[in-house]
């Protein structure tokens, strides 16, 4: 990752790993659920999932790009918070590709919608089979369960 001239490589690597983990939660786990009347159902660790140590890859390789200074910054360093966070979108798109393959195996083709976060429930419902076909389609005229108060 391009961090310019790293002031402290150990801290930079930790920031990259942490940013990726935060992005992993953003794109795959963290979903707020609000009732049509504005009641927040996801109000704690039992209902609002954040990444834990078991969600992070066992092998997590981080390399810092050398000799890429930023002459306009303090000690030629660069910010490292946002790039690794958005790098975690690669997990979301890998999941979407896996769903596309599963749908093709089931004989289902065409475009489908997968909203972020790609929760277990959304992944399961995007892979049609005899079980998921028993769930009626969403009534778009019904009050939404994701209304922001």
Distance CA 144, CA 149 (A): 12
Whole-number Cα distances in Å, 54 to 45, 46, 88, 118, 128: 15, 16, 16, 17, 28
b/e burial code for range 49-74 (CB count within 10 A of at least 16 → b): bebeeeeeeeeeeeebeeeeeeeeee
Q: Spot the catalytic one: 17, 31, 82, 121.
A: 82
30 is catalytic: no
Q: Where do the DSSP E strands lie in 11-88?
A: none
Distance CA 16, CA 10 (A): 10
Q: Known catalytic residues? A: 82
């Amino acid at each position: 990752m391009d961090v310019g001239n790293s002031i402290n490589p150990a801290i930079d690597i930790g920031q990259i790993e942490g940013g990726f983990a935060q992005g992993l939660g953003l794109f795959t786990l963290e979903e707020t659920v609000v009732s049509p009347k504005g009641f927040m159902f996801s109000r704690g660790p039992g209902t609002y999932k954040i990444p834990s140590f078991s969600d992070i890859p066992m092998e997590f390789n981080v390399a810092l790009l050398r000799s890429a200074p930023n002459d306009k910054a303090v000690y030629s360093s660069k910010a490292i918070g946002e790039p690794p966070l958005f790098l975690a979108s690669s997990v979301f798109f890998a999941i979407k590709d896996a769903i596309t393959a599963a749908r093709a195996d089931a004989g289902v083709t065409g475009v489908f919608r997968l909203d972020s976060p790609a929760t277990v429930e959304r992944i399961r419902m995007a892979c049609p089979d005899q079980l998921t076909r028993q769930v009626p389609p969403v009534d778009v005229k019904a009050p939404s369960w994701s209304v922001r108060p």
